[in-house]
Amino acid sequence: MLKLPGLIDLHVHVREPGATHKEDWDTATSAALAGGFTTIFAMPNTMPPIFDRDTLDLGLASAKEKARCDYAQFLGAGPNNANWDVHPDLPPRAAGLKMYLDSTFGELRLDDMTLWMQHFATFPKHLPIVLHAESRTMAAGILFAEIYDRPIHIAHLSLREEILIIKAAKERGIKVTCEVAPHHLFINKDLTGFQNLSGLSVGHQEVRPRLTSQKDVDALWDNLDIIDCFATDHAPHTIEEKDSDNPLPGFPGLETALPLFLTAADRGRLTVDDIVEKMYTNPKKIFNLPEQPGTWIEVDENAQYEIRGAEHFSRCGWTPFEGYQVKGRVTRVVLRGKDVYKDGKVLAEKGFGQNIRD
């Protein structure tokens, strides 16, 4: 058995409140444990969005009742809540501030850069700001990091031009870190090698940022040293929603990320040490996370099997990696000295998870 630290996923759409028909804190944290994650960070673009005291209390109350692994909840930056200095008690209770500078659903998109200025100026500097920012918008976000002399973290990097810009920014000492989602490393827009996905509806191929060219995928692999974190961007929608005339973008990912990366390690594309660095060490450092004493996962690194969405704990019931041959299966997860997942069964009770910002 391969023994690894409990993994951290910085980017999970739990879907609670507002869309629990496709996921909630119970199913999301069950899926997390099955995937080897003992901590997840929940995104704020829910219904209603998490952006003030009442909505943060609402989201954290659901998590406290249902979460089976540890967690934190992001606050969302909106057009009318950039007065964080007036509510100094709120930011320390959150995973950080999520700013949507490109396409998103709901009320949190910030198209006016003067609104960015207010959030950069008032959100506490010792707490992280995470940007959904693509291409030129990402470059503008890096400029703001330089102007306000504060660290930023770029979510779900996908393009060659983006990784090269971040590389240049890091070389100049700008305080920027970044994450990449597994689907941007293992699937391209031509769906090469994914016959099952190419046979499904166009809706099942919808994700934001969009799937990219093989040239972009190769650039990400060629610059793994620039990528700080792997984060799933777990964004479940039901099969019916993906098959609809107006399909919502997003892939589930909590239960497939580690097997995909372990398979890549078996094929020599990266090392197990790289996986630990980008799914535990760096997330813990960037977001200043506390220790989880008595916490680890065990993996049968020789187990070979096909990914099957119907066998997953995620409520959405499908995966873009359906039928993909992987090597490496999580067999046991121990959280704070307690077996919380073992041999395909979630053992943690609802509410066992703790808010890491408490």
Question: Taking all residues of the chain, what is their mean pLDDT, rounded to a whole number?
Answer: 95
Instruction: Identify the pLDDT of residue 163.
Output: 98
pLDDT bin (cut points 50, 70, 90) of residue 175 is very high
Of 248, 257, 242, 263, nearest in space to 317 by CA: 242
Is residue 262 within 8 A of residue 301, CB to CB? The reply is yes
User: Two tokens at 88?
Assistant: 């100094």
- At 37, list the tokens: 């994650």
Q: Which CATH fold topology does 2-346 show?
A: TIM Barrel (3.20.20)
At a CB cut-off of 8 Å and minimum separation 6, what does 207 contact? 183, 235, 249, 250, 251
Report how far apart, in Å, the C-alpha atoms of 273 and of each of 47, 261, 262, 265 are. 38, 11, 11, 9
Q: In what order do the strands lie in the sheet with 37-42?
A: 7-12, 37-42, 70-73
Domain residue extents for the chain: 2-346
For the four alpha carbons of 217, 218, 220 and 221, in that order, the dihedral sign comes to positive
Query: Could you tell me the sign of the dihedral formed by the alpha carbons of 168, 134, 225, 73, in that order?
Result: positive
At residue 213 the predicted structure's pLDDT band, cuts being 50, 70 and 90, is very high
Give pLDDT tens digits for 299-311: 999 999 999 999 9
Q: What is the pLDDT of residues 216-271, one digit of tens each?
A: 999 999 999 999 999 999 999 999 999 999 999 999 999 999 999 999 999 999 99
d(C-alpha 187, C-alpha 156), whole Å: 14
> Does the pLDDT value for residue 122 go beyond 70?
yes
Q: What is the separation, in whole angstroms, between the first and last Cα of the chain?
A: 33
